[in-house]
Amino acid sequence: MATQDPPASCKVVLAGSIAKNLQHEVSEGLLKLERKPSLVGFLANKDPAAQLYSSWTQKTCQENGFEFTLQEVDREELENHILTANQDNAVDGIIVYYPIFNSRQDQYLQQLIDVRKDVEGLCHTHVFNMYSNIRWLDEQKLQKSILPCTPLALVKILEHLKVYNTILPYGNRLFGRTILVVNRSEVVGRPLAALLANDGACVYSVDVTGVQKFTRGEGIKKKRHEVVNKEGWTLEDCVPLCDVVISGVPGNAFHFPTALLKDGVICINFSTEKNFGPEVKERASIYVPAIGKVTIIVLLRNLLRIVQNRQSSSTTGNGEVD
């Protein structure tokens, strides 16, 4: 009698399958609006990743009933274009495809966008709320704060993979999870570590400068996360401790040391390059090789929330996305 091969130990989960659930949520919310939400995008560079992101945005907007206008502008004129869009009542949301100057001037541009139109959640109000673990814009808790698209996309992926424990109270559902984030950029890595720690996880954040530990303290008793430098620590110290490994190192020089992974770990790659080699499937129980399609749907979800927030400022907030 022939013996059957055992089932593959690693399940590869594609971003498209995760995005479908969010897409349904967005479609349901869209039906409750009187008109299509309008998004304007500003492209002021020749960066291939930014150009690809803008084309994905346009395609996804068209497929899901959102209006999208892409404006290719000179970076020296971008400030004026943002200010004009802020005042345009026909524009519901604004997205800028970074990098523009690759300097602190990019942060200045982020602060120019009206908080009521910031679909990326990068202006001061949203960033402050994110790091402070403040989830609402108003005392009545009708208007939710906007979170950055890529970190939020990774949170939604972890929810889809049941890493979040829904038995626990909202805000504590990562308690008991140990997560590694390899990337500490101000756009993705650091915000992601903060979000996960604020939800109760123990997060090791790694970049070229070293390792930091993000937690809400012993027993997650603190309201917001705290950060501790782990002097002398490297990937060798923290990888074996982690249930989930999320890597997003740009460029093709970095290759994650998969030999350090513990059996059954969940691995997620959010870099445009493959940080994990094919051998990751020998250790991981679940592997998500890319997240782009989820990020784009989260962008539309943020735009929908912005429109709903504006409506809830004068109504009871019906149709809000949770």
Average of per-residue pLDDT across 165-191: 96
In this predicted model, what pLDDT tens digit does every residue of 160-169 receive, in sequence order? 999 999 999 9
Predicted local confidence at residue 148, as pLDDT:
96
Q: Is the pLDDT reported for residue 8 higher than 90?
A: no
Helix (H, G, I), strand (E, B) or coil at 244: strand
Q: Which residues contact 314 (CB under 8 A, 6 or more apart)?
A: none
User: How confident is residue 311, by pLDDT bands cut at 50, 70 and 90?
Assistant: confident
Provide the greatest CA pair distance for the chain. Answer: 75
- Whole-model pTM? 0.92
Residue numbers annotated as active site: 149
pLDDT range class, residue 320, cuts 50, 70, 90: very low
Residues facing 181 on adjacent strands: 205, 246
Q: Is the pLDDT of residue 234 over 50?
A: yes
Contact 100, 108 (CB under 8 A): no
pLDDT score at 252: 87
Rg (C-alpha) for the chain, rounded Å, is 20
pLDDT of residue 169: 97
Q: What is the tens place of the pLDDT at every residue in 35-52? A: 999 999 999 999 888 999
- pLDDT for the residue numbered 5: 60
Identity of residue 46 = K
pLDDT tens sequence across 257-271: 999 999 999 999 999
* pLDDT range class, residue 6, cuts 50, 70, 90: low
DSSP string, 53-106: HHHHHHHHHHHTT-EEEEEE--GGGHHHHHHHHHH-TT--EEEEES-SSSSHHH
pLDDT tens digit sequence for 105-148: 999 999 999 999 999 999 999 999 999 999 999 989 889 999 99
- % of the chain beyond a pLDDT of 90: 85
Distance CA 62, CA 73 (A): 22
Cβ contact 143:313 at 8 Å: yes
